[in-house]
Amino acid sequence: MESNNKDTFLARWLNNDLSPAEEQDFKNSDDYKTYSKIAEYSSHLESPLFEKEESRNYIYNKTINKTKANSLNFGWISGIAASILLLFGLFYVLNHNETTFETGYGEQLVITLPDGSEATINSKSSLSYNASNWKENNRTLTLSGEAYFNVKKGSLFTVNTDTGSIEVLGTQFNVNSNTNSLEVKCYTGKVRVFNQKTEAILTYGKALRLIANDKENWVFNPDEKFWLKEESTFYNTPLSQVFISLENQFNIRIKNKSKFLNNKFTGSFFHEDMNMAVKTVLEAMDIKYTTSNQDIILSNE
């Protein structure tokens, strides 16, 4: 086999350019199942960070330019496969049929779920579900961070978080979950939010926040801009949650913040400019600060 074919094997496979003999050899290898799964999952993804065709061409061109190897060994494909996952801005964890999607700083990811419902994950968030018993398990997912759901009508659809759970039959809603807090906004339909201490039904334009033993309801405009439109909005939100959003969006660290965490912020910041976003929040709260590389240092004055 020519050395150029050895170097471009995976790229040619992704482009359906293998000969019948090469295709059969690959299918007989131990690695085929793993990488066919990766190809299958990535084909269903839509990420706002990458155009599919551009990403595919990038992978192909990068593979062509790799240093030539001495022999064809399917094991070397693992390094390139990992690069494919990184290009789509996420990691897959395939363990006992559990599928997990994770985003990095400033990333968003659109996922098509097994029933055709969609979940859009915000930065530094993770979403997992078991695809093998998706229907039998009433379409159940686990979320850490923030995601927007567009759910197709059908059986019960449940999102579990550390602070509480959300149940729907078919609707659009946003969930922002951290270790000690849960915020849910209903954009269409009806949403049930519950944990061991509380239960609430949300309809169009209704929102709920749970933090420790505190519960807060409010009304919002479902047509207003929010993080899917590159703007994060907050209503009477503790700065502890606003700081998390800033850190996750821009990969920064906010220091000396303990005295400000319970202060409440109403407003928004845009995602395009980190300096402007930080200024928008901190000046509105009359908090002085300095910057050093990726650190935002709050003044105690």
Query: Is the pTM here over 0.85, yes or no?
Result: no
* Joined tokens for residue 216: 């807060």
Is the confidence at residue 176, as pLDDT, over 90? yes
- In this prediction, residue 68 carries a pLDDT of 32
Q: Which band of pLDDT confidence, cut at 50, 70 and 90, is reported for residue 12?
A: low
pLDDT tens per residue, range 57-105: 433 343 333 333 333 444 445 455 544 444 444 444 444 578 999 999 9
Alpha carbons 87 and 254: distance in angstroms, whole number: 28
Domains of the chain: 1-88 (no CATH), 91-220 (2.60.120.1440), 224-301 (3.55.50.30)
Q: Which band of pLDDT confidence, cut at 50, 70 and 90, is reported for residue 136?
A: confident
pLDDT tens per residue, range 245-277: 999 999 999 999 999 999 999 999 999 999 999
pLDDT tens per residue, range 190-203: 999 999 889 999 99
Percent residues over pLDDT 70 in the chain: 72
b/e string for 177-208 if b means 16 or more Cβ within 10 A? bbeebbbbbbbbbbbbbeeeeeeeebeeebbb
